[in-house]
Amino acid sequence: MSTELMSPLDPLELTVIVNKLDLHPHYSTPITESMAAVVADSTSTNPATSPSIRAAAASSDTASRARVVHQPDSGWLDDGSVLQQDAEQSLLRSRLRTATIVSLFCMLVFFVRSWFIEEPIVFLIRCFCLIITVGCLGLLSTPRKLATVELRRIEILLYGPLCALIASLEFIFLAKAGLAGNAAQQVEVVYSGTLGLAVMMLTYSMLMPNGWRRTAAMMVPPVLATTAVLWIARTILTPVAATIDSVRTAEVGLALVLTGIIATYGSSMISTLRREANRVKQLGRYRLKRELGCGGMGQVHLGEHQLLKRPCAIKVIRPGQVIDRAALARFEREVQTTAQLSHWNTIEIFDYGHTDDGTFYYVMEYMRGLSLADLVKRYGPQSAGRAIHFLGQTCWALQEAHDHGLIHRDLKPANIFAAKRGGVFDVTKLFDFGLVLLRGEGDNFLSVLNHGATTPFAGSPLYMSPEQAIGMKLDGRSDIYSLGGVAYYLLTGRPPFEGDSAWRVMVAHAKEPVTPPSRWNPSIPEDLEAVIMRCLSKEPEDRYASPHDLAEALRACKDAGSWNYEKAGDWWHERADEIDPTLLDP
């Protein structure tokens, strides 16, 4: 099986990594629903990437992060794997418990009836079966984990006596009607018993998660029981033999055989559908819980690592969703690029892989909170101190990317997240490196096209630098411009330029002067406005040379430090109910 996943860990290595996860602040965060659609729409970069992922950590700190290496793995969980066995045991136990409760309810109804109007022998038989059913329910309700063989024994203990009960009652009532010479009642007893067994057989096939072989085997006793009852009754009771002749006996047997065939086929179909459903909901070591969002490049699901029980966001491209090989290459490149970065303000990639059926996926941390775009849409322009708080953290994440020779090219409020991590709020996370450009890759429009990458116009026009808008050579200062646009939006609730088409906005970035943000929000401090305006300079050399320099300029503003994690905690606690109540969970 061709897969690209985390390499298998021996128990000692797993223990060391789990200990690191407990101590490492990176793993306290989990992408959220408000950003899932954005992540799902990730697009672009060089399609000429390798079909296998070889992401190496950029520093020793990466060793404590989830590793993305070229290593074959199991892809879909094998049928004999421990995880699948646990899931099958859990399902079998749940279905047995349901069947036991239903059987117990029916038996109690008939038990009360037999208490008043039926003979003592019938009452004793019902008591015996009732005791067995209660015992089965007790075993299934214990907290102890039951092995598959134990569950199968309970299964037989439940259905065996139930089949015997129906058959024995059929014989008793048939004999009673025969001795009384009541032919009509004899026929009624036979057909009632047959109907009871048929209902039991069909109910069994629907409830029990069995393959066709086991279901077929479990259909044999009811058929034989009825045949035996009729044969014995016809042999020892002449009135019964006169009424229930061989033709009628054959009809009953044939009806039960057909019922068994239908039950077996239905059980097989249900089992096949269940396996397919589990296959869809399971990727490697991860189980998909629910869809968070979808876009042109696939879906994003909330998932969980089955052993570590760690929540995560899983981006999936199913076979047939994306035919363009370049799109799949961009998908893979996004993973490769992000996996190189280890800063805690950059979203983490835990895993990557593809399965035999052509499904591509990668696993990232699941974050709770809001993107900066959603934050401003819902609560308006932010204070100067809080904007500096977000921008400063983003600068350091961006600085690491630039140190690796990566130009993000798609910095915008929707790609920066205000998350909760380790009990701390307003932790900034930078994500979506789908448009990343390597430094020196694509010196101009023609070289970018010849290089096989996306066009330099790829990106978000509202936050695009002038040189990116006109297809010129890009360097890290293009990201500085875009981050200045994010700052403008945070403080004013609007981007630096707006227009009725993407082309008009791109032209405005290239030619028109930026309106000072204080025109829209007079409370913006002069020193912070000067920093933003320098970021939004038309000429790259007039901007800050690096994210580090921009971070230092922000730190020198008088409002730097006026917003802290304590204030952020108070803000989120006041609004958690309307944003996401789980934000207050540990």
Whether 423 and 586 have beta carbons less than 8 Å apart is answered as: yes
Whether 516 and 529 have beta carbons less than 8 Å apart is answered as: yes
Q: Which helix (H) or strand (E) holds 173?
A: helix 148-179
Contacts (Cβ under 8 Å, ≥6 apart) of 189: 170, 173, 174, 177
Calpha distance 129→132 (Å, rounded): 5
Token pair for residue 245? Answer: 């002749």
Calpha distance 256→250 (Å, rounded): 10
Give bridge partners of residue 428 from the DSSP assignment: 418
Distance in angstroms between the alpha carbons of the first and the last residue of the chain? 39
Calpha distance 465→568 (Å, rounded): 31
Q: Is 61 noted as a catalytic residue in this protein? A: no
- Using the structure block, give the residue that is written with the tokens 């239905």: 266
DSSP state for residue 522 in the 8-state scheme: T
CA distances from 304 to 95, 145, 263, 288, 301 (A): 24, 22, 35, 7, 10
Nearest-5° Cα angle at 179, 177 to 182: 45
Choose among 495, 517, 336: nearest CA to 413: 495
Calpha distance 385→554 (Å, rounded): 10
Calpha distance 383→299 (Å, rounded): 34
Token pair for residue 163? Answer: 């089949």
Return phi, psi of residue 304, to 5°: -150, 135
Residue spans of alpha helices (H) in 24-147: 33-40, 82-117, 120-141
Three-class secondary structure of residue 370 per DSSP: strand
DSSP per-residue string spanning 461-517: GGG--HHHHTT----HHHHHHHHHHHHHHHHHSS-S---SSHHHHHHHHHHSPPPPG
- The one catalytic residue in 22, 245, 356, 410 is 410
Nearest-5° Cα angle at 147, 146 to 151: 75
Three-class secondary structure of residue 202 per DSSP: helix
Token pair for residue 14? Answer: 């797993």
Choose among 430, 429, 435, 470: nearest CA to 453: 435
Catalytic amino acids?
410
